[in-house]
């Protein structure tokens, strides 16, 4: 019997290392999902090239070609629906998604952020953490709501902050954890083990 797999879409804007980690985990048979499409808001995103090299369907939808943010969000949701996507994973996607988008995928949009939310949301999270002086940081996978990195937290991984860290060395240590955590969360979701109770997310074993 062929077990069912969850059809996912990945939204990217840049480097694409999390997209690669997810794709590699799926290819290794560790995550019962399949990537239906990788979509970027930037045509030059390296993630698009990397996805195509893996034989994935990858294309750009450029916001500048739409009259409003709402129109873009709707076009993006429509494109994902057309590909049969049931879970949307943001992986370095540098835009906020509005209600027009989120209403199309209720409880089915997730993001990874390179800090222990609710600390250090937004841009340059690793630099924010270092400058604040925290002793541990890490990454967070969360459901996406209309705010900036404010949705219910699904999972977090912690790394130490070292005395000689720069934003770059801390980011690299966090990124290694991102690449482990994001595929694992997608696995849980694909297995139907994740339940939202208010703001709390319960992962059944």
Q: Which residues are catalytic?
A: 113
Q: Which is nearer to ligand GRF, 16 or 151 (CB)?
A: 16
Determine, following the binding rule CB under 6 A, whether residue 9 of this chain makes contact with ligand GRF.
Answer: no
> How many residues belong to the site for ligand GRF (CB under 6 A)?
14
Q: Which is nearer to ligand GRF, 74 or 169 (CB)?
A: 169
Q: Which is nearer to ligand GRF, 18 or 197 (CB)?
A: 18
Q: In 10 A of CB 7, how many CB atoms?
A: 17
Smallest gap from Cβ 174 to ligand GRF, in A, equals: 7
For the CA atoms of 3, 40, 173, 113, the dihedral, rounded to the nearest 10 degrees, stands at -80
Smallest gap from Cβ 149 to ligand GRF, in A, equals: 9
User: Residue 55's beta-bridge partner residues?
Assistant: none
Looking at 9, 10, 11, 17, which residue binds ligand GRF (CB under 6 A)? 17
User: Which residues, including other chains, have CB under 8 Å from residue 151's CB and lie 6 or more apart?
Assistant: 111, 142, 143, 144, 145
Determine, following the binding rule CB under 6 A, whether residue 40 of this chain makes contact with ligand GRF.
Answer: no
User: Which residues, including other chains, have CB under 8 Å from residue 11's CB and lie 6 or more apart?
Assistant: 38, 39, 40, 41, 76, 88, 89, 90, 91, 93
Residues 95-114 that bind ligand GRF (CB under 6 A): 112-114
> Has 11 been labeled as part of a binding site?
no
Is-contact 171 157, C-beta < 8 A?
Answer: no
Dist. CA 177–CA 179, nearest whole Å: 5
> Has 94 been labeled as part of a binding site?
yes
Residues that bind ligand GRF (CB under 6 A): 14-18, 47, 91-92, 112-114, 139, 175, 178
């Amino acid at each position: 019997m062929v077990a069912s797999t969850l059809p996912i879409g990945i939204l990217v804007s840049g480097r694409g290392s999390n997209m690669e980690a997810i794709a590699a985990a799926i290819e290794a048979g560790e995550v019962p999902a399949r990537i239906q499409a990788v979509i970027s808001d930037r045509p030059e995103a390296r993630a698009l090239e990397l996805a195509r090299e893996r034989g994935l369907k990858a294309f750009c939808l450029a916001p500048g070609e739409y009259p409003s943010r709402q129109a873009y969000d709707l076009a993006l949701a429509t494109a994902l629906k057309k590909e049969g996507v049931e879970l949307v994973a943001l992986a370095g996607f540098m835009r906020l998604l509005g209600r027009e988008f989120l209403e199309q995928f209720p409880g089915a949009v997730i993001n990874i952020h390179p800090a222990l939310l609710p600390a250090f949301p937004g841009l340059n999270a690793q630099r924010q953490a270092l400058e604040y002086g925290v002793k541990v940081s890490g990454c967070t996978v969360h459901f996406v709501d209309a705010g900036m990195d404010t949705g219910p937290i699904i999972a977090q991984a912690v790394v130490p902050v070292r005395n000689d860290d720069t934003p770059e060395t801390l980011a690299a240590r966090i990124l290694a954890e991102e690449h482990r955590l994001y595929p694992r969360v997608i696995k849980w979701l694909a297995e139907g083990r994740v339940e939202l109770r208010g703001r709390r997310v319960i992962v059944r074993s």
